[in-house]
A and B are shown apart, each in its own frame.
Chain A
Amino acid sequence: MGKYLSKKITIYILTFFIAVTLDWAIPRFMPGNPISILVSRFSALPNARKVLTSYFTQSFGLDKPILVQYLNFWKAFFHGDLGVSVYLYPKPVVDIIKESLPYDIALLLPSIILSWIFGNWIGALAAKNRILDKTLVPILYVFTAMPYFWFAIIIAWILGVVIPIFPISGAYSYSMTPELSWTFFFDFLHHWFLPFLTLFVVMLGGWAIGMRNMIIYEIEANYSRYLESLGASDKMILRYAFRNAVLPQVTGLALQLGTIVAGALTTEMVFSYPGIGYLLLQGILHQDYFLIQGCFLFIVLSVLAANFLVDLVYVLIDPRVRYSYTEGA
């Protein structure tokens, strides 16, 4: 168990270093001169250019040796200094990301957990029921083949324009300010529903298909056949198969996190939902490179953390991992 965790932690620490290094290296080794782009973004006044160039060269540390630049970048990183946004000047990037964080959590956590539970349930049902299998599985395949943002566009058009029952832009009405009251809460929920539905539906397809295939595989396994020969009920066999089939789904959750986050980014862009995705879009549209880099770091670090969490859960639910590392060692 300790060995399993230490191996995992080594990987995560290495990944963390590589991600931060990438974030440092890409603007520096790319063709073209990002600094001049950054400066041109700031220079409304002609004589501001000179001051700004030296300011940026200093804060970017471009006049220092490359190793010192790298160390300075780490120093700034641990001080929580990710630069200043151009688009929302002079707000620090860290503060901007902090503000959008609650919206991402409110959107991603429920949609991932609910679609995972519901998808596994549907998948298990489809594996056992022929009629359900023939009708539902093709639909699920279409769900999982859709780009997230396209489904977002379609659902916004149907439920926001053709039958206007849901708002399709923002996280709350423009006339409101965030506060702790029931009216705000319901307004928030009203805006939250369509982005949530998008993520939920597209993810659902993937989980359900994965579960269906795993269950079919498990039902063919010897232990299921043995149970069957003992005269166990279908329900009981399915319950045992489910317990085995759910393990790869937990691993799948870790592997899919990156794709899910990417899907959430584009979904937020469609609904102008003020999470990281919307922020990133603003960063790209306004060529705000500090903001883009900050978002990149933040996304990578949260996916890392979530992966680590899934690994911990895996140790708890799969006894084989525990035994193999305690008895084998």
Chain B
Amino acid sequence: MKEWLKKHDTIYFMLTNKRFVGGMIFIVAMVLIAILGPWLARLELNWYLEESGTKNLDPTANIGIPYSPPSSRHWLGTNSFGQDVFMQLVFGLRSSLLIGIIGGGLATLIGLIVGFVSGYSGGMMDELLMMLTNIMLVIPTMAVLIIIAAYLPYRGVLIESIIIGLTGWPWTARAVRSETLSLKSRDFVHLARISAVKPLRIIFGEIAPNMLSYVFMVFILQFGGSILAAVGLDFIGLGPTRGTSLGLMLQQAVLWNAIQLGMWWWIIPPGAIITAIVAALYTVNTGLDEAFNPKLREM
């Protein structure tokens, strides 16, 4: 184990970095809650399943007395319709994390390809791709999302994450391009080129391994960004047309005067979870930065 760690010192620095480990533990816990969500909801609403005799839990079902604060029957109370807030929360968490992974992954992938091709090939291709990137960069993403989503009669979590991914890539492309430009002119790449190594081998053998850490960090940021974008879209009323999500919960809370009625159990948890996840992702990102960048390591 020690020998292996000596060879992979970045992994050693990652695992000993408090920020990375702390943030990662929180995110893994959230993923577990999302995966175990239906089971947790069953645990909470066992009494309801027994009383009503139904087998399946539906987060949009009105199962309790409306406006009831947290209790042993409803761990996080109920909303104005008598829906169980805890159940909505665990189901909403699932769609938020899913959008983060799909949307963030897609945005990272597109940004990576555009940025890499642009930086590596240079010339006319570079000019064209960067012009496209700059154009996408100034158009406010949210406005584009709004107008596309407004005209979609049916919206699912998948469609939402795809349109978020398709609009979120420009800054990644720019960052990857400048990273490629700097890597391309390093000595070891020149050396490989002089030794007549094939272009594809240079890309995957010499440049890609050096960019891996960077790409991972970009993905972490895109993951958080996609979650925030989706929550905003849901809140505006352009989220999934079926099911529930954290943003949808907050939209309903505002529309049904949860603020004026002081229903804190309805308005605090969804946003607190989003904030905690995004903050944890930022913390992981800072931790990774410290682990990958020797200059920033705490001695």
Contact = CB atoms under 8 A, between A and B. Distances in A.
B262 A266 contact: no
A220 B238 CA distance: 46
Given A154-B271, A258-B139, A303-B138, A266 B235 contact: yes
Interface string A91-102: 000000000000
Contacts of B5: none
A145 B236 contact: no
Given A141-B279, A150-B250, A292-B146, A262 B232 contact: yes
Interface in B240-299: 247, 250, 253-254, 259-260, 262, 264, 267-268, 270-271, 274-276, 278-279, 281-283, 295
B51 to A, nearest CB: 33
A182 to B, nearest CB: 29
**Of A27, A153, A269, most B-chain CB atoms within 10 Å:** A153
Nearest to B296: A216
A14 B262 contact: no
A280 B137 CA distance: 22
B237 interface: yes
B134 to A, nearest CB: 5
A263 B134 CA distance: 22
Given A26-B148, A145-B278, A269-B235, A259 B142 contact: yes
B171 A270 contact: no
Contacts of A303: 138-140, 143
Contacts of A26: 147-148, 151
A153 B153 contact: no
B282 to A, nearest CB: 5
B220 to A, nearest CB: 13
Contact of A141 (B142, B271, B283): B283
Contacts of A146: 271, 274-275, 278
B238 to A, nearest CB: 7
B135 interface: yes
A166 B86 CA distance: 30
Contacts of B254: 149, 153, 269-270
A110 interface: no
A265 B281 CA distance: 25
Contacts of A258: 138-143
B93 to A, nearest CB: 15
User: Which residue among B151, B152, B237, B274 has the maximum number of chain A CB atoms within 10 Å of its CB?
Assistant: B151
Contacts of A257: 140
Contacts of A265: 142, 236
B139 A145 contact: no
B250 A153 contact: yes
Given A144-B282, A147-B274, A281-B237, A304 B262 contact: no
B21 interface: no
Given A153-B267, A161-B262, A270-B259, 5 more contacts: A141-B283, A145-B282, A147-B274, A150-B270, A156-B259
Interface of B: 131, 134-135, 137-144, 146-148, 150-153, 171, 224, 228, 231-232, 235-238, 247, 250, 253-254, 259-260, 262, 264, 267-268, 270-271, 274-276, 278-279, 281-283, 295
Interface of A: 11-12, 14-15, 18-19, 22-23, 26-27, 30-32, 34, 141-142, 144-151, 153-154, 156-157, 160-162, 168, 220, 254-255, 257-259, 261-263, 265-266, 269-270, 280-281, 284-285, 289, 292-293, 295-296, 299-300, 303-304, 307
12 contacts: A11-B135, A11-B138, A15-B134, A18-B139, A27-B151, A145-B278, A147-B247, A151-B271, A153-B271, A257-B140, A284-B236, A304-B138
